[in-house]
Amino acid sequence: MNRVYNFAAGPSAMPEAALRQAAQEMLDFNGSGMSVMEMSHRSKAYQDIFDETEALLRELMHIPDTYSVLFLQGGATGQFAAIPMNLLREGGSADYVDSGNFAHGAMVEAKKYGDIRCVASSKDENYIRIPALDKAAFNPEADYFYITTNNTIFGTRYPELPETGDVPLVADMSSNILSEVFDINRFGVAYAGAQKNVGPAGLTLVIVRRDLLGRARSICPKVMNWTVMTEKGSMLNTPPTYAIYMAGLCMKWLKAQGGVEGIEQVNLEKSKLLYDVLDASDFYRAPVVPAYRSRMNVTFTTPSPELDAAFVKAAAGEGLVSLKGHRLVGGIRASIYNAMPIEGVRKLAEFMKKFEMENR
Amino acid sequence: MNRVYNFAAGPSAMPEAALRQAAQEMLDFNGSGMSVMEMSHRSKAYQDIFDETEALLRELMHIPDTYSVLFLQGGATGQFAAIPMNLLREGGSADYVDSGNFAHGAMVEAKKYGDIRCVASSKDENYIRIPALDKAAFNPEADYFYITTNNTIFGTRYPELPETGDVPLVADMSSNILSEVFDINRFGVAYAGAQKNVGPAGLTLVIVRRDLLGRARSICPKVMNWTVMTEKGSMLNTPPTYAIYMAGLCMKWLKAQGGVEGIEQVNLEKSKLLYDVLDASDFYRAPVVPAYRSRMNVTFTTPSPELDAAFVKAAAGEGLVSLKGHRLVGGIRASIYNAMPIEGVRKLAEFMKKFEMENR
């Protein structure tokens, strides 16, 4: 077996320790005589796994009991619809910041359910920065204010969260949840598709301040209704049981790395390794305005699309895979989520220098 | 390792061969150097897995190209809302048959979106049969006609499908899909949560006749929109990649058992083993009217709730687990989906006889 360094943007690399434990327990979890995949979600054995996973997430993110933690399905894209159906009052309005492809998609989907205002956009700059936010443009009566804390495709990140006063901040954190310390109390709702920093695809985390429950529209499908799902402990219907178990194994690994506080330092170091190579080079171009650089998704180009393709191919030959940029922007993207070891990033940094020398 | 016989109603037993292969490939799928769980859903390696799984399902169920096959999230309960949002025209109406708890739940959810008529119900008989259907009560102008082919909690099954003429038949097949031969051409939409007869929880199959696409309401969330999902090959957003892979492994196993045609004979034999014990006994009581007996979920009671509990406990001691009936009906339920080996059912039948002798 020869494991590669997988720089995919999601689904993406997972901790090897979690995968090893999953493989070992696949036919017999903890003497139960069955796989976690085969367990009734109503069994005590499974409820224990579920409860432990929720407790770990609360511990890692310091989530107080004033927030409900939900393990749902449908991905962030499902939440694009769920958010207005759970929060937008009849005749109400919400503010959105258009900082990238998924932020834009969230806004378009929300418009199906009510009055959605775009308070800032960096679309005309091809999303190379988080747009400047003018507080005077915020609607103080908005039902919520929507942001995307990290933009996976373009490789940008909010250096600080907007101040929205009494308007609840709703954040898609799919690509940087658990990667750095956030004060959860700043958010009305924080949510994430699991497949980047949490666990496997098919699981969606929604962390919602309890005072925001009870507002869901009558047209909201039950499986998307945060109030119903809170009452049912995420088990109105069968949850994605195995994905939750895997997320728990990944969180145990994260805790052993010193938790979010510990991994944040590693992530800073990892991203610095790559940005240092980019900044020292006149061969590579890093399009993102430095103040908004993502720590999770490092985007860059070589002098030509042909060289970009040659880079991706040659890197794969050295076990550095899935480095092709998103089709919307081209170029190269190195996604270096929590589970990417620093050794993999070092190897990529060395490869970048070598490739530059050979192709300048 | 000591595997048990797991009679859970879902999530439930899976083929040991599928679990073994998954364990073996967990850290390195087919020389890729990564787990299937870590693969980008946009990679060729993953698309090959996805395409192979769809092809297997089409082969096993003889699904022609006039049907779209979707791999979605949210469970059958998600489809309870998706169905009216995809099929019910503005001002339109649909007919529902109330044959059990999930049929009833589907009807209640659908009422949020339009005019839903209950054409027959066996609720007053505690759902011990499929209700008699009077074709004169069917609305020939209905947008669709809704049934649940097998009722997991009560242990009933439609012995034949209703004739609905030009009105598309929509069927929740969660608990008997792939267990017996169905003519897919009888259905407008056939759908199922995967966690009983297909694969792990967190995956929902929707098989929809293509001429029914294009009707979705504007309020339908994109992730629930069958038309959008058909255009995007189920990948509008990240699908539950690992659950789809596991479903593929289970389908490969099913094909090796002679496909649906082969497993149907085994399932008939398995259910007969248990019903024969019940019919020969004046100790056990099988509440379901014989003509409507499920081949997947065999429900029965002993003379008292105390003995029911003693049965479940003693059976577990012999490696026959998860036999407790659903809380709505109590008693005992043996779910014997495709992956339950006939040896497990034989062992349960022997245990039933022994328990009767010792407790009559």
Map out the domains of chain A with their CATH numbers.
Answer: 16-255 (3.40.640.10), 258-353 (3.90.1150.10)
Cα B149 to Cα B171: distance, rounded to the nearest angstrom: 6
CB contacts of B321 in chain A (<8 Å) are: 33-34
Give the chain A residue whose CA is nearest to the CA of B105.
A222
A223 touches chain B (CB under 8 A): yes
**Buried/exposed B23-44: b ≥16 CB within 10 Å, e otherwise:** bebbbbbeebbbbbbbbbbbbe
Q: Can you tell me the ipTM of this complex? A: 0.98
Cα A356 to Cα A349: distance, rounded to the nearest angstrom: 11
CB contacts of B11 in chain A (<8 Å) are: 37-41, 238, 241
A266: three-class secondary structure by DSSP = helix
B32 touches chain A (CB under 8 A): yes
Q: Cα A59–A149–A122 angle (5° rounding)?
A: 175
pLDDT at residue B1 above 80?
A: no
The fraction of chain B above a pLDDT of 90, given in percent, is: 98
* B325 CA: distance to closest CA in chain A (Å): 12
pLDDT at residue B164 above 90?
A: yes
CB contacts of B40 in chain A (<8 Å) are: 8-12, 322
pLDDT tens string B86-143: 999 999 999 999 999 999 999 999 999 999 999 999 999 999 999 999 999 999 999 9
Among the listed residues A246, A233, A169, the one whose alpha carbon sits nearest the alpha carbon of residue A203: A246
pLDDT tens string A52-86: 999 999 999 999 999 999 999 999 999 999 999 99
Give the CA radius of gyration of chain A. 21
A81 vs B1, B112, B222: nearest CB: B222
pLDDT at residue A304 above 80?
A: yes
Exposed, middle or buried by CB within 10 Å (0-12, 13-18, 19+), for A353?
A: middle
pLDDT averaged over chain A?
97
Residues 131-190 of A with CB under 8 A from B: none
Cα B334 to Cα A343: distance, rounded to the nearest angstrom: 51
pLDDT tens string B315-334: 999 999 999 999 999 999 99
CB neighbours (10 Å) of residue A39? Answer: 25
Q: Encoding tokens for residue A177? A: 């949840």
CB contacts of B222 in chain A (<8 Å) are: 77, 80-81, 109
pLDDT value of position A338: 98
Q: Cα A163–A165–A170 angle (5° rounding)?
A: 70
pLDDT at residue B344 above 90?
A: yes
Amino acid type, B23: A
Mean pLDDT, rounded, for B50-63: 98
pLDDT at residue A154 above 80?
A: yes
pLDDT value of position A1: 65
A75 touches chain B (CB under 8 A): yes
**Phi first, then psi: what are they for A66, rounded to 5°?**
-75, -5
Mean pLDDT, rounded, for A302-315: 98
Mean pLDDT, rounded, for B255-283: 98
